[in-house]
Structure 1
Amino acid sequence: MTRVYDMGGRFGDGAVVPEAEHVKFHADWHPRALAITLACGSLGLWNIDISRHAREGLSPNDYGRFSYYEKWIAALADLLVETGALSRDELERGAADGTSDLAEKRLAAAAVAGVLAKGGPATRPSNVAPLFAVGDTVNIRSMPENVMVPGGHTRLPGYAAGATATVIRLHGAHVLPDSNAHRMGEAPEPLYAVALKARDIWAHPEHPEDEVILDLWQSYLAAP
C-alpha cells in the first residue's frame, strides 16, 4: 500500500534543494512548536515511534498541505486528546479545566539542556540472534508493510521493498518501531546498515552505481 509520507524516490515531486546550513526555522512559531512537542514528550504518555505514527496518521489532504511543523502540532494535538492529557473541549477552548495530574511531570526549563544531551538511545539487549554478517547478500521484504498491525507504522521505505542489498554493518539490537509504535512492546532485534545500488531500485538513475544506505531491522530481511 502506498502511504502519503513514503515519498522516497517518488516521481514528480521535484528535486531536493538543500537549504543554507544556518536555516533552521522559517517562522517565529516553529521553534515554539519544537519546544512544546519535546516538552509534551516528557510526560511519558507516548514514545518516539508513537509520535511518528501520529504524524503519518494525519489525513492525506492535511498531510499534503501542512508544513513540517504544522504536521508536528496536528499530531501532537491528536496524541494529547487520545491519551487523555487534554479533552477535545479544552484543546478547542485553549484553556484547561483546573490543574492537570500531569503537572508534576512537566519539563522544567533548567532541565532541558540535560534532557536533550541525554537523547533517547534505542539500543536494547535482545534474545534475537543476528542472522547476517557484514558482506552477506540479503533480500529486503517485498511488501513495505507492518506485518503485525494492518496499516501500521514501519521504517521500511517503499522504494527499497523487494530489492537485494549487501550488509555493511551490524548496529546491535534496537527497538523495533513496528511494535513500539502500537504499544506492543519494544521487541528489540538486530539492526543492519545495508547498501543498495541506485540501478537496482530506480528505473532511470542519474548515477547507476551510487549507493543508498538504509538501516533495516532483521525482520525486514531474508536470505536469498
Structure 2
Amino acid sequence: MSRLHDMGGRFGDGAVEPEAEDIKFHADWHPRALALTVATGAVGAFNLDMSRHARESLSPKDYMRFSYYEKWLGGLANVLTQTGVITREELAGSVDPAPSPLSPRKLTADRVAGVLAKGGPVERPSNVAPAFVAGDTVIARKFAENADVSGGHTRLPSYAAGARGRILRLHGSHVFPDSNAHGGGEAPEPLYAVVFAAAELWAHPEHPNDEVVVDMWQSYLTAAP
C-alpha cells in the first residue's frame, strides 16, 4: 500500500521543524476534537485500527489541506458513518439526530480519568508461534501493502519494505492491524522490534552507521537466505 500519509523517509516535503514542548494545542477547538474522538471511541463501535484507516483514507486533496486535528475530525466522520453510529444526514444537520442504542455506553466526565489511565493495551494470546529469535536476519515484505485487503490498512512503512534487518527482541503477540481495521478480527500474531542499518534504508544516509528500530508483525517478515 502506498498512501499519502505514509511519509516516513520521503524526500521533498521540507525540513521537520520541531515546536516548543509546551505547545499542546494551537486553537480552542483542538482539545475538543481530541475529546470527541476519545469519547466516541469509548462506545465500542469501532477500534483503533479502523480509526487510523479512516484518517488515512481521506482524499489526497483533503489530507494535504487539513490540519492535524482536521484530519482527526475528517477520519472520525468517516468511521462514524461507515459503522452506522450516525447518518450523513445527521452529520450534516439536515435531519434531527435519532436516539442511539449506544447511548448507555457514553463516556461520562467522571469516567474520563480512569479510561485514559487504563489505556488500550493490544497484547493478546495467540495460536501463532514465534518464527524468529533475537539475532535472526530477516527481510521485510517487498511491498508496504495489506496482503488480504486491496488498498487496506497496514503498519508496514514503505521506507522499510524489502529491507534486510535483524531481530532485536520479541514483544509478545499483539492485535494485527491489517486484519483488525477491516472487520477480520484481532488475529494476534508475534510482534518484533527489528533493527535496520541506515545504509539499508536510505540511498544517501548522512550517518550510515546509524540504526532504525521498527516494530513489525511476523507476517511482514521472512527469514533472510
Query: With structure 1 as the length reference, what TM-score do the two structures score?
Result: 0.97
Q: Secondary structure at the match of 1:36?
A: helix
Q: Aligned partners of 2:17 and 2:97: how far apart in 1?
A: 45
Q: Which residue of 1 aligns with 2:67?
A: 67
Q: Which residue of 2 aligns with 1:92?
A: 92
Residue 211 in structure 1 maps to residue 216 in structure 2: no
Residue 170 in structure 1 maps to residue 144 in structure 2: no
Residue 41 in structure 1 maps to residue 32 in structure 2: no
Q: Aligned partners of 1:35 and 1:133: how far apart in 2?
A: 40
8 Å contact kept, 1:159–1:201: yes
Aligned pairs for 1:1-224 within 5 A: 1-93=1-93, 96-224=96-224
Using a 3 Å threshold, how does the CA distance of structure 1 residues 213 and 5 change in structure 2: closer, same or farther?
same
What amino acid sits opposite 1:108 in the alignment?
A: T
How many Å apart are 1:96 and its aligned residue? 3.9
What amino acid sits opposite 1:101 in the alignment?
A: P
How many Å apart are 1:86 and its aligned residue? 1.3
What amino acid sits opposite 1:39 in the alignment?
A: A
Structure 1 residues 148-192: Cα deviation after superposition (integer angstroms, max 9, x where no partner): 101100000001001000111100000000000001011100000
Residues matched between the structures, number: 224
What amino acid sits opposite 2:50 in the alignment?
A: I
8 Å contact kept, 1:55–1:71: yes
101-110 vs 182-191, greater mean Cα deviation: 101-110
Q: Secondary structure at the match of 2:151?
A: coil
8 Å contact kept, 1:143–1:161: yes
201-210 vs 152-161, greater mean Cα deviation: 201-210
Q: Secondary structure at the match of 2:184?
A: coil
Query: With structure 2 as the length reference, what TM-score do the two structures score?
Result: 0.97
Q: Aligned partners of 2:38 and 2:220: how far apart in 1?
A: 30
Q: Aligned partners of 2:82 and 2:141: how far apart in 1?
A: 32
Q: Aligned partners of 1:115 and 1:209: how far apart in 2?
A: 42
70-79 vs 80-89, greater mean Cα deviation: 80-89
Q: Secondary structure at the match of 2:74?
A: helix
Structure 1 segments unaligned to the other structure (5+ residues): none
Q: Secondary structure at the match of 1:196?
A: strand
Q: Aligned partners of 1:13 and 1:180: how far apart in 2?
A: 31
- After TM superposition, where is structure 1 displaced by more than 6 Å over at least 4 residues in a row? none
Structure 1 residues 101-122: Cα deviation after superposition (integer angstroms, max 9, x where no partner): 2211110000000000000100
Q: Percent identity?
A: 64
Structure 1 residues 59-86: Cα deviation after superposition (integer angstroms, max 9, x where no partner): 0111111111001101111111122211
Q: Secondary structure at the match of 2:167?
A: strand
How many Å apart are 1:98 and its aligned residue? 4.2
